[in-house]
């Protein structure tokens, strides 16, 4: 069974631009969560989608948004990029009711 895939793996953007990251969950998983990892703030929850609906949201500004498609693939978008948005963005999909999350390799975003 294929794992969680994320594209692209690396991305360099300029301040003020916007970016879209993609995540394909493990086949059969319907919940997708996004996390931001930075050296200063650690791992922080962004949002979670289940059956195309945002079910939970972390404490991030409205510049961060996401969506989920009918095939459970998810995208997150960051608009008006700031230097502080430079981070590893991790996607995870969930199996069953025990909240066991499987993570993808991440997208490393660098904002210059």
Residues in contact with other proteins by the rule CB under 8 A: 4, 31, 33, 35, 42-45, 48, 50, 55-56, 58, 90, 92, 94, 97-106, 108
Of 35 and 64, which CB lies nearer to other proteins in the complex structure?
Answer: 35
> Which residues, at least 6 apart from 91, have a Cβ–Cβ distance to it below 8 Å?
4, 6, 21, 23, 25, 32, 33, 34, 35, 74, 76, 103, 104, 106
CB of 80 to other proteins, least distance (A): 25
Q: Which residues pair with 1 in a beta bridge?
A: none
R_g of the chain computed on alpha carbons: 13
Q: How far is the CB of 83 from other proteins (least distance, A)?
A: 21
Measured from the CB atom, the residue of 52 and 100 that comes closer to other proteins is 100
Task: Name the pairing type of β-strands 64-68 and 53-57.
Answer: unpaired
Instruction: Compute the distance between CA of residue 75 and CA of residue 25 in angstroms, rounded to an integer.
Output: 11
Q: Which is nearer to other proteins, 17 or 110 (CB)?
A: 110
Q: Kindly state the smallest distance separating residue 76's Cβ from other proteins, in Å.
A: 15
Please state the closest distance from residue 39 (CB atom) to other proteins, in A: 10
């Amino acid at each position: 069974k294929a794992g969680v895939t994320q594209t692209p793996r690396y991305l360099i953007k300029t301040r003020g631009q916007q970016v879209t990251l993609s995540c394909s969950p493990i086949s059969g998983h319907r919940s997708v969560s996004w996390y931001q990892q930075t050296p200063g703030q650690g791992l922080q929850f962004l949002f979670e989608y289940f059956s195309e609906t945002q079910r939970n949201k972390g404490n991030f500004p409205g510049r961060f948004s996401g969506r989920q498609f009918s095939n459970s693939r998810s995208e997150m978008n960051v608009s008006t990029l700031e230097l502080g948005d430079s981070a590893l963005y991790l996607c995870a999909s969930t199996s069953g009711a025990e909240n066991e999350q499987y993570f993808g390799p991440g997208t490393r975003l660098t904002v210059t």
